[in-house]
Amino acid sequence: MLMALLCQAVAFAQHSPDFAEKFMTLCSNDSTVKCITVSPKMMEQLVRLHEDSRSDNIVQAIGKLKSARIVTGSACYYQKAIELIARNKSRFIAGKDYQTEEEQGAFFTRKNKKGDTVEFIMLHADIAGNKFTIVNLTGDIDDEFLCFLFNNKTF
């Protein structure tokens, strides 16, 4: 009886990790790679914190997020992240990538079974500063969300 219940529990626990988690698992032995986690509970608090600046693009964008994970390491990890994405080709949809003298960036998204985009990944390498960042967001990654971020550019 217990075995059956346990099996059922395992079956229901078939959750998929977000990209950041996959990457951190890959780098589990490497202490130079760090991950910041913002859970859904915390995310809700962030929105309430800035309710007065509701017109701000950032606050609006945060309102659509369920979670955020930010991974940092040295620039050489950019390639590792790209390779991890490639190994999960069917899961992640590639967007444009760009390269300037000082930096490199690439975007990816993941859809759920209903066809909604629920996960957003940005890989970024600051070549000059030897910094690598993964911005991994989950939530309502729809056109409105992207709009908020697009309108927020600083240059």
Q: Which of residues 43-62 bind another protein (CB under 8 A)?
A: 43, 45-46, 49-50, 57-58, 61-62
Query: Which CB atom, from 1 or from 114, has the smaller least distance to another protein?
Result: 114
> What is the SS3 assignment for the chain?
CHHHHHHHHHHHCCCCCCHHHHHHHHCCCCCCCEEEEECHHHHHHHHHHCHHHCCCHHHHHHCCEEEEEEEEECCCHHHHHHHHHHHCCCCCEEEEEEECCCEEEEEEEEECCCCCEEEEEEEEEECCCCEEEEEEEEECCCHHHHHHHHCCCCC
Nearer to another protein, 1 or 100 (CB): 100
Question: In the bound complex, what is the minimum distance in angstroms from residue 1's beta carbon to another protein?
Answer: 25
Task: Report the residue number, 94 or 127, with the smaller CB distance to another protein.
Answer: 94
Binding residues for another protein restricted to 108-127, rule: CB under 8 A: 109, 111-113, 115-120, 122, 124
Residue span 11-50 as binding mask against another protein, x where in contact by CB under 8 A, dash where not: --xxxxxx----------------xxxxxxxxx-xx--xx
* Residue among 1 and 54 whose Cβ is closer to another protein: 54
Of residues 86-105, which lie at the interface with another protein (CB under 8 A)?
93-100, 103, 105
Considering the rule CB under 8 A, would residue 83 count as an interface residue with another protein? Answer: no
Amino acid at 55: S
User: Residues touching another protein: how many (CB under 8 A)?
Assistant: 72
Determine contact, residues 21/72, Cβ cutoff 8 Å.
no
8 forms part of the interface with another protein (CB under 8 A): no
Interface with another protein includes 66 (CB under 8 A)? yes
